[in-house]
Amino acid sequence: MPTPFAPRIILSQNARADLHALLRAHSTPQSLALRARIVLRAADLDRPSNLALSREVGCANRTAGKWRRRYLALGLSGLQDAVRSGRPKAIAAPTRVHVLSVASTLPQDQERPVTRWTLDEIATTVRETLRTDPLSRSSIWRILHEVDLKPHKSEYWLNSHDEDFDAKAHTICQLYVKALEAYEQGRLVICCDEKTGMQVLERKAPTKPAQPGRRERREHEYIRHGTRVLINSLAVATGQIAWTLGATRTATDFVAHLKHTYQHLPRMKCYAWVMDNLNTHWSLDVCRLVARWCKVPFEPDKLKKGMQRRAFLSDPSHRHVFHFTPKHGSWLNQAELFFGTLQRRFLARGSFRSVKDFERCLVGFLKDYNTRHAHPYRWTYTGEPLVRDTPFSCTRRQQRQGRACFSPRPKRFEKLFYPYNAI
């Protein structure tokens, strides 16, 4: 039979760049890289035939012609494998549903003696409940894989039992959103929190700086010189901080910090303090200090319980109003953002000869932060319930195979084929 005519391929600059990106990416499957190489070679000016092209790239003549035609007809998406029907499913639909139902419950609910599911445990449970022929491990795996169900994996999550979580979170977030406007009107929003257990560590050998082709190296053995506690207050509108450094975080320490912060931050008409529910934040000494600041009567007999003290400190008629984050909601405090910066830029790689050396270096870092790096943080959480941004129907796995999947870091070739969700 005569050799079929090899159609001509003309690539735009963007299309050529995408194909070269597929070739360079280490995660690209070899079959996909071969197809991209065929198309690139077919688009050269000498217009090689399928026979010559197949000899150069190392494939069959028909293979070169097939992917040449597929690219002309469908573009980049034509380089993917076509959808195959496969053989009919041998496992009945009720059995498949029951497997998913078992895997979606806890082993204890199915009266199993284990605390985590395995393929064998699921197969045994299905056989005992349905009294059918046992399913193989691979069959169980395929059924679970189709819906992206992984009962053998687990992760921690924190459930807040605060009934007023949404209302408290919304109030605090509104303070952040309007912090700059309030600052111009004479109201200052302050986030206060403690960084406890900061270890004063000294490396047994000096750290070796980075060199061309070699990373910085730190000695893994260290000498402990004790710990220190940093109590920090962050002005939301400006990013400026005020701090006290000590060995403890008692109620007396916190009151001293409040006095220090009040002296060093700008004078305002009103102050809104955001902090968590640590007992030192609503102690009787704090109530006494706030009563003196706000020039209101201080009645210890009415402040014997924590609920009464928090209500007194949260009184909106006071000049100083405390806003307590909901339980398990300390991440709503912007002071945590600064502590992240402190950990990355100062504590993580530090080596200090003594406690005094640590305090001297830390004070120097905090002063430098106020002078050169202080800035208001960009707060994006609005206080509304957290909702997934990308619907399940728009995920890459859903588009590709008809089921949902999550991947925080898509591969290079997936970004090209599924650009809508390749973030």
Predicted confidence band of residue 383 (pLDDT cuts 50, 70, 90) = low
Give 241-275 pLDDT, tens digit per residue. Answer: 999 999 999 999 999 999 999 999 888 999 999 99
Rounded Cα gap, residues 302 and 309, in angstroms = 8
Predicted confidence band of residue 162 (pLDDT cuts 50, 70, 90) = confident
Give the pLDDT confidence score for residue 172 in this predicted structure. 93
Predicted confidence band of residue 392 (pLDDT cuts 50, 70, 90) = very low
Average pLDDT over residues 412-421: 64
- β partners of residue 224: 201
Give 112-158 pLDDT, tens digit per residue. Answer: 999 999 999 999 999 888 877 788 889 999 999 888 889 998 887 77
Give 312-342 pLDDT, tens digit per residue. Answer: 999 999 999 999 999 888 889 999 999 999 9
Fill in the amino acid letter for 291.
A
- Chain centroid to CA 184: 34
Give the pLDDT confidence score for residue 351 in this predicted structure. 93
Query: Percent of the chain, pLDDT > 90?
Result: 59
On the question of pLDDT at 310 being above 70, the answer is: yes
On the question of pLDDT at 355 being above 90, the answer is: yes
Give the pLDDT confidence score for residue 4 in this predicted structure. 58
CB environment 372-398: b (16+ within 10 A), e (fewer): eebebeebeeebeeeeeeeeeeebbbb
Rounded Cα gap, residues 346 and 349, in angstroms = 7
Rounded to the nearest 10°, the torsion over CA 201, 202, 203, 206 is: 140
Average pLDDT over residues 380-384: 69
Average pLDDT over residues 181-209: 94
Give the pLDDT confidence score for residue 406 in this predicted structure. 43
Q: Which two tokens stand for residue 175?
A: 């303070």
In the block, residue with structure tokens 């605060």: 162
Give the pLDDT confidence score for residue 7 in this predicted structure. 81
Give the total residue count for the chain: 423
Task: Specify the 3-state DSSP secondary structure of 234.
Answer: strand
On the question of pLDDT at 423 being above 50, the answer is: no
Predicted confidence band of residue 410 (pLDDT cuts 50, 70, 90) = low
On the question of pLDDT at 309 being above 90, the answer is: yes
Give the pLDDT confidence score for residue 146 in this predicted structure. 84
Give the pLDDT confidence score for residue 384 in this predicted structure. 60
On the question of pLDDT at 385 being above 70, the answer is: no
Beta strands in 204-269 (DSSP E): 222-235, 241-246
Higher-scoring residue by pLDDT: 155, 217: 217
Phi, psi at 194, each rounded to 5°: -115, 140
Sheet hosting strand 320-324, strand order edge to edge: 241-246, 222-235, 187-203, 270-275, 320-324
Mean of the per-residue pLDDT values for the chain?
87
Q: Which of 18, 8, 68 is nearest to 38 (CA)?
A: 68
Cβ neighbours around 286 below 10 Å, total:
20
Give the pLDDT confidence score for residue 419 in this predicted structure. 59
On the question of pLDDT at 93 being above 90, the answer is: no
Average pLDDT over residues 76-100: 86
Q: Among 25-34, 369-378, 385-394, which stretch is predicted with the lowest mean pLDDT? A: 385-394
Rounded Cα gap, residues 398 and 392, in angstroms = 7
**Element at 188 (helix H, strand E):** strand 187-203
On the question of pLDDT at 21 being above 70, the answer is: yes
